Structure 1
Amino acid sequence: MPRVILIDDEPPARRGLRRMLAAFDDIEIIGEAGTIDQARTLIGTLCPDAVFLDIELSSGKGFEIVADLSSETAVIVVTAYSLYATDAFDVAALDFLVKPVDPDRLQTAVGRLRERLAQKQPSAGTGAGAQPPARILLKSMMSSVLVPVNSITLLQAEADFTRVHLDTDQTYLAAGLLGKFETDLPSPPFRRLDRSLLVNLDQIHSVEWQAGGRGLLRFSANDREIPLGRSATKRLRQLLDD
């Protein structure tokens, strides 16, 4: 059952969307927020499958929230301004709805959310018996290189490419989205912390838990420090406590 949070600074708009979503028996609305701070608190506490996000909030732009979201939380933009469509694409929003929301478009968005959650379920070919690759091929416009999987410390999304960091301090800008590498690499030890960061848990040397729910990640093979947002820090805490 998809668990969602509604984020809009206008209570009538939230009530209207709640009524429309009531038509879908499998959608569970687990919270509502009218400000960015309220939304961040709810998201950090409840870990929803998706947020229905207005952009023009009295406390700022709704896109401020997206940077702290886990990659596992889908974003469905709901706004009165069609000019934000490009920005929604940039943050990989699952769908873009223009107010007043059309019921058919809302049904399409809910369908996409259902499909996304279904794809996250483990398939028959990805069980514990599957043999993880020893090396992975990194392709760029100029060359291709095979690197040992266990030498990778982290991977970062860079537009349509992925920056791959090795324990030798080398980095490669490889063709392909981060999601493709997430699929190809064994999990564990590789785990997604947010929309742009995939880390090798076996390579972590230490984590400095900082004020404001943020963290600083250090790897065992070098002195590189990676700052983490609230959502990534919360996700890492969960993974390390398991």
Structure 2
Amino acid sequence: MLRVMLVDDEPPARRGLKRLLAEHGDFCIVAEAATLAEAVKAHAATRPDVVFLDVELGDGKGFEMLAGADTRPDVVFVTAYSRYAVRAFDVAAADFLVKPVDPERLALALQRLRERRAAMPLDRLDGSGAIPAERERPLLNLPGMRLTVPFKMVLSLSAEGDFTRIALSDGREQLICRLLGQFETDLPRPPFHRLSRSIIVNLDHVHRVEWTDGGRAQMFLGRSKQAVPLGRTAARRLRQTGVSP
């Protein structure tokens, strides 16, 4: 059973969401709030697993509730303003729903939440089922699959326009709506090293490097020996890190 808190300054919107959630028996509403102040107090008191959070509240923005929280619930933003979507995923929202909420779209969000909680290691949860915020700090939060991935699983991050593709040691890849530079300050150095404007690599996962004519290189990462071609600048910076040929 996942414990849910609803935060919305419009009573009809809360009633509508409660009616839709009532059709999913494994979600239990434990608290409601109409303002930011009420939300902060209710969150501290109930420590819910999931928060359905409106963005524009009468006394502030829903994002502010997350800033001072000592636990990090899964957050599904529910708002009439699609312009907040990018910011929502920047704070690792589990999902983003646009009002009026479509029942099928809500069902999909709930299924994603179930899968996320099922995949989460038990030692990442506190007694309430919430994730302690201080224990998330050494981890990289990835929107999309709604997984929280340890840094040690990340092979590389590469820029693709306004997106970043993250390659993981288990063979998966995540394409995240976030610029590569926004990840750089969050990553520990070492082992992460930015080789060029378009790639950051985890040096702990460099299996071997083949240096080629013209100052270029072919880098092989992880157990699968994923091949990553490097231009002159990236190859030079990789050599400067002391990685053996």
Q: Does the residue aligned with 1:3 lie in a helix, a strand or coil?
A: strand
Q: Which residue of 2 aligns with 1:68?
A: 68
What is the alpha-carbon distance in structure 2 between the residues aligned to residue 4 and residue 61 of structure 1? 19
Quick check: 1:160–1:175 contact (8 Å CA) kept in 2? Answer: no
Normalization by structure 2: what TM-score? 0.52
Structure 1 residue 89: Cα displacement = 1.2
Cα offset for 1:159? 4.2
2:101, 2:40 → 1: CA distance?
A: 24
Alignment-derived partner of residue 110 in structure 1 = 110
Equivalent in the alignment of 1:192: none
SS across alignment from 1:93: coil
**Structure 1 segment 126-145 matched on structure 2, within 5 A:** none
Change (3 A) 1:140 1:23: closer
Q: Which one-letter code corresponds to 2:48 in the other structure?
A: P
Structure 2 residue identity aligned to 1:89: F
> Tell me, which stretches of 5 or more residues in structure 2 are unaligned?
124-150, 158-180, 194-245
Whether 1:160 aligns to 2:183 is yes
Change (3 A) 1:112 1:175: farther
Pair 1:175–1:46, CA change in 2 (3 A): farther
Q: Distance in 2 between matches of 1:64 and 1:94?
A: 17
Q: Does the 8 A contact of 1:8 with 1:33 survive in 2?
A: yes
2: CA distance, partners of 1:47 / 1:90: 22
Structure 1 unaligned segments of length 5 or more: list them: 124-135, 142-157, 165-171, 177-242
The one-letter code sitting in structure 1 at the alignment partner of 2:183 is D
- TM-score normalised to the size of structure 1? 0.53
Q: CA deviation at 1:67?
A: 1.7
1-side partners of 2:8 and 2:42: how far apart? 13
The Cα of 1:103 is off from its aligned counterpart by 0.6
Change (3 A) 1:80 1:122: same
Matched, 1:10 2:29: no
Distance between the aligned counterparts of 1:174 and 1:61, measured in 2? 36
> Identity over the aligned pairs, expressed in percent?
50
Deviation sequence 1:135-193 (CA, Å, 0-9, x none): x979999xxxxxxxxxxxxxxxx9424454xxxxxxx36549xxxxxxxxxxxxxxxxx
Letter of the structure 2 residue corresponding to residue 98 of structure 1: V
Provide the rounded CA distance (Å) in 1 between the counterparts of 2:67 and 2:79.
18
Q: Match for 2:30: what amino acid?
A: I
Secondary structure of 2:24 counterpart: coil
- CA–CA separation in structure 2 for the residues paired with 1:14 and 1:175: 44
How far did 1:45 drift? 1.2
For 2:86, the equivalent position in structure 1 comes to: 86
Relative CO higher for 1 or 2, CA cutoff 8 Å, sep ≥ 6?
A: 1
How far the C-alpha of 1:94 sits from its partner, in A, is 0.5
Residue aligned with 2:113, SS: helix
Residue 159 to residue 175, structure 1, CA distance change in 2 (3 Å): farther
User: Quick check: 1:140–1:173 contact (8 Å CA) kept in 2?
Assistant: no
The answer as to whether partners of 1:140 and 1:174 remain within 8 angstroms in 2 is no
Letter in 2 for 1:65: M
- What secondary structure sits across from 1:48 in the alignment? coil
Match status 1:57 vs 2:80: no
Secondary structure in 2 aligned to 1:160? helix
Distance 1:174 1:100, change over 3 A: farther
CA shift in 2, pair 1:50/1:173, >3 Å:
farther
Judged with a 3 Å threshold, the aligned counterparts in structure 2 of structure 1 residues 175 and 30 are, in CA distance, closer, same or farther, namely farther
Rounded to whole Å, the distance in 2 between the matches of 1:174 and 1:90 is: 23
